[in-house]
Amino acid sequence: MYMQVQLDRIPTASIERLECVKLLVVFIESKLSFHEHVERLLSICNQRLYLLRKQGLSDKCIGIVTL
């Protein structure tokens, strides 16, 4: 029932190698690390916290939001 693939017939020259790919909203690096994903999430969180502070939300309320 399993399909056997002969690797020598796959044209690898036309396959592009990527360092990082976004798959189902998760960034996965070529070394199967999630460093890039975590960095992007932290960046988004910092931007949103900055906007909340700029709108006048108190540090006490921000502390509750970040829990």
pLDDT in tens, 38-48: 888 889 888 98
Cα–Cα distances (Å) from 65 to 1, 33, 44, in that order, read 52, 28, 14
**Predicted local distance difference test score (pLDDT) of residue 54:** 87
**Predicted local distance difference test score (pLDDT) of residue 29:** 72
| Closest C-alpha among 48, 51, 49 to residue 62 | 49
**Predicted local distance difference test score (pLDDT) of residue 15:** 75
Q: Indicate the pTM of the whole model.
A: 0.53
pLDDT in tens, 7-66: 666 666 677 776 777 777 777 777 777 777 788 888 988 898 888 888 888 888 878 776
